[in-house]
Structure 1
């Protein structure tokens, strides 16, 4: 489980070195995308959204189920916020950062931020405590949903903005480099979707600091490992925002819950 891969700095363009690394491995890690004070502001803003949703007893956002759980003190928390960019101006502002236009180069013409598609901007809040219900996620690819919905497999990248310092023992993202170039058969059957949470001898541990940005290809096999520590040291927050191409398919408040969302109960 290696985490000693190269890290880069995001500039005005994607360099040839960065593009080559991403094309070969299916992921890339940029250091210090946002400042520590911005990280703190984002966490505070998510707490306000959480309070509003708990008070309203909101179940879904644009057809996507909200995942609730328990904090270390037993209080109710939101552990997976979908479309959070539509529920607080700070998250809306974050999506307007001009550096995202640079990231679109990794797909090319027709690429866009999925602020109103898929699950929008998602904020995941993991904590490993006695009553936790969201501590890990089994192996999967993000492209599976297109197949379930009967559409062609469109280009998709998942952009992660990390709000916590993460060491391998804290759990977090694990990826299998190069699997974005696999056949459709291996994309479907290489592992048991979500049920398989076991470590893979070839996996790479993504170990960001708060404020870092990562990108992984939607066809890449990845999982979220459970923290081996408990309590406050296990707390991790990360934002994900898709870069997509293909037909524009926005979600709205009357959007149905998709078939693949049935797998949500397999995420613990």
Structure 2
């Protein structure tokens, strides 16, 4: 696809150009959102929590299964942690950043909020392409079907990603199909085989991401994560996602049941 993805700078208010870009394409990429020092701090916090959970033998958090793998040395690791900010004062404070609150206006509803304790909360995804890794890519999907599995009406949501490693387009990483958030609900659900289809699409757009960048995509937008052609340290990609949600407030806690869609198979969901 002949498409040159623009990048922007996020302040405490979105500009008309930024809103129009997101409305048209369903995603937006903000450069240098957090400092390199913050990147290192956030990685240390995520790995601190990971170590604590591994030592405690925790395999679920608030009903959501964790995703496990092994590092390049064969040591156990958690490749997908959820509700991370509930276990880190630093990351909880990060979610109070007024610039993040500006993103609420991307959905036209006054009930929008950062879902720190809803959905899966703040998620830490750790992709690595190694022999022992079970989490190196993610097939085409949208984020909307989970509402259906929960017996709910599909509501608009956003996924906001804070990137903690450099990931130029040639290293794989995030791929989006611009404008697909405006398709019919049937195509939002069935344009491709959710999570199973890993095939490149002629219309897909890859993003040149640096550590510290912020990306936002509409929950109805088709997207995937391409496997890195390299192995080991050069393939490592760490990114934190949190949802912006609307509708009835639905927090999760230690008594929450595991959603049904997690029992259908080993689906990888953001």
TM bracket, shorter-chain basis: over 0.9
Instruction: Give, in whole Å, the separation in 2 of the partners of 1:66 and 1:264.
Output: 14
Instruction: Give, in whole Å, the separation in 1 of the partners of 2:179 and 2:208.
Output: 18
| CA deviations over 1:29-61 (Å, ceiling 9, x no partner) | 111110000000011111110110000110100
Equivalences for 1:28-67 in 2 at 5 Å? 28-67=28-67
Structure 2, unpaired ranges of 5+: none
TM-score, normalization by structure 2: 0.96
Q: What is the match of residue 14 of structure 1?
A: 14
Residues 11 and 136 from structure 1, CA distance in 2 versus in 1: closer, same or farther, beyond 3 angstroms? same
Q: What is the match of residue 245 of structure 2?
A: 244
Q: What is the match of residue 105 of structure 1?
A: 105
1:68: how far off?
1.1
Residues 2 and 31 from structure 1, CA distance in 2 versus in 1: closer, same or farther, beyond 3 angstroms? farther
Residue pair 2:177, 2:203 contacting (<8 A) in 1 also: yes
1:2: how far off?
6.7
Residue pair 1:25, 1:178 contacting (<8 A) in 2 also: yes
Equivalences for 1:78-227 in 2 at 5 Å? 78-108=78-108, 109-227=110-228
TM-score, normalization by structure 1: 0.97
Structure 1, unpaired ranges of 5+: none
Instruction: Give, in whole Å, the separation in 1 of the partners of 2:267 and 2:260.
Output: 14
Instruction: Give, in whole Å, the separation in 1 of the partners of 2:83 and 2:114.
Output: 12
Instruction: Give, in whole Å, the separation in 2 of the partners of 1:263 and 1:12.
Output: 41
| CA deviations over 1:58-112 (Å, ceiling 9, x no partner) | 0100000011111111111110010001111111111111111111111131110
1:4: how far off?
3.5
Question: For this pair of structures, how many residues does the alignment match?
Answer: 268
| CA deviations over 1:4-25 (Å, ceiling 9, x no partner) | 3110011221111111100000
| CA deviations over 1:124-157 (Å, ceiling 9, x no partner) | 0111111110011111100110111111111100
Instruction: Give, in whole Å, the separation in 1 of the partners of 2:192 and 2:53.
Output: 35
Residue pair 2:141, 2:223 contacting (<8 A) in 1 also: yes
Residue pair 1:3, 1:206 contacting (<8 A) in 2 also: no
Residue pair 2:82, 2:122 contacting (<8 A) in 1 also: yes
Instruction: Give, in whole Å, the separation in 2 of the partners of 1:147 and 1:17.
Output: 33
Residues 238 and 230 from structure 1, CA distance in 2 versus in 1: closer, same or farther, beyond 3 angstroms? same
